[in-house]
Chains A and B, each alone.
Chain A
């Protein structure tokens, strides 16, 4: 292993697949851990979905998750947005599982890649646009021009609203990717430093105690970040879904 903190993000092929439309879609370590995250979510919640009247521990977990996401969507967007519930649920737990699986030192953190976080973000914002136009027709574009302003103000406000709207997927994507990348880079740098101190022998071995404690703290922080980023992504998706339902305000 080279002492390169970026190496952990390298995408490696596990097996080749024929190119489709000139695009290389070979199965890679990233693919593996995305599939595992999706599989993890499915298996976990399949185990909790027992539908018993008196829930066991697993079923309670599943029901708590269900209510957590349902309340988040209801409070942030409104009860009418309930048809997006599976999507929010999926987004939250897919990102959460991918983040948490990535905490495993031998795993690959698929959410630390811009391609993945940006795709999720674009999918979310695409959903808002499509559902918004579907529900409101072309009136939906009024979200860029809030009613009741003096005419010259629109010259200012419309570009700002458009930039603001377009910033959303970028913010979503960058935040997830940057947080996951930064955390793992930090961990790797500490690990490299510890290895260096331990390897150089003598008194320096004892000096490694500092970075070890630091690493432990960062690991704890990273678990928090893993959950927080999934939560932020999900709740912002809920917030953005407001634009589907509250065009005239």
Chain B
């Protein structure tokens, strides 16, 4: 800084008087204080009016945004949990319902089957009874005829062997006596 002008000789003398420390050269103080106030004052004004509010605003905005995002995320997370719970409940319901349905169906089929089985058993028993009855009738009829045939045969045998004629009635009674 070649262009710098020194304080005048009186200053130098004062310097010497203050022990050679330029810091104690009082005549320079007012200038320093003036320029300190000016530079610091202007800086303070610009900082406090324009720059710091902007930085601070940026910080609060980001803080708010992050807080909002976190809230949103946890809200969605809660929704997801809720949805999951809903799903599980629905699943359980469906399971229960399905179980019910299968159970009732099974029961009704069982009942039907039983009923049908019973019905067919009845039918079968009835048919059997009918058949039995018929068989019995036929048997009886057949047995009756056997007696007739036997009487005829016995009468003919008697006629052939004895040459005598036995009445049908007597033969019959005789047979039934033999048969006892």
Contacts and interface: CB of A to CB of B under 8 A. Distances in A.
B147 interface: no
Main secondary structure of the interface of B (DSSP, over half): helix
Given A24-B31, A31-B31, A38-B43, A51 B54 contact: yes
Contacts of A37: 39
Interface in B11-55: 15, 20-25, 27-40, 42-44, 46-48, 50-52, 54-55
Nearest to A34: B39
A91 B4 CA distance: 29
Contact of A53 (B21, B36, B62): B62
B28 A115 contact: yes
B39 A38 contact: yes
A10 B29 contact: no
Given A29-B4, A66-B56, A11 B40 contact: no
Contacts of B114: none
Contact of A35 (B15, B21, B39): B39
A177 B61 contact: no
A232 interface: no
A48 B55 contact: yes
Contacts of B20: 4, 6
Contacts of B65: 53
Contacts of B21: 6, 9
A89 to B, nearest CB: 6
A169 to B, nearest CB: 14
Contact of B32 (A48, A50, A110): A110
B32 A113 contact: yes
A49 B42 contact: no
B26 to A, nearest CB: 8
B31 A25 contact: yes
Given A114-B23, A116-B32, A50 B6 contact: no
Interface in B56-96: 56-59, 61-62, 65
Contacts of B7: 11-13
Contacts of B169: none
A25 B39 contact: no
Main secondary structure of the interface of A (DSSP, over half): helix
Interface centre among B21, B39, B52 (most CB of A within 10 A): B39
B68 to A, nearest CB: 12
A235 B173 CA distance: 151
B interface residue count range (under 10 / 10 to 19 / 20 to 34 / 35 or more): 35 or more
A26 interface: yes
A7 to B, nearest CB: 8
Contacts of A35: 35, 38-39
B30 A31 contact: no
Contacts of A106: 1
A216 interface: no
A25 B31 CA distance: 4
A59 B54 CA distance: 11
Contacts of B22: 6, 9-11, 113
Contacts of A10: 6, 15, 22
Contacts of B48: 86-87, 90
Interface string A88-108: 011000100000000000100
The 3 closest A-B pairs by CB, nearest first: A86-B48, A12-B4, A31-B35
Given A11-B25, A12-B6, A113-B23, 10 more contacts: A14-B4, A25-B35, A41-B43, A45-B47, A50-B58, A66-B56, A89-B52, A110-B36, A119-B36, A177-B23
6 contacts: A11-B31, A14-B3, A38-B39, A46-B46, A55-B58, A63-B55
Interface of B: 1, 3-7, 15, 20-25, 27-40, 42-44, 46-48, 50-52, 54-59, 61-62, 65
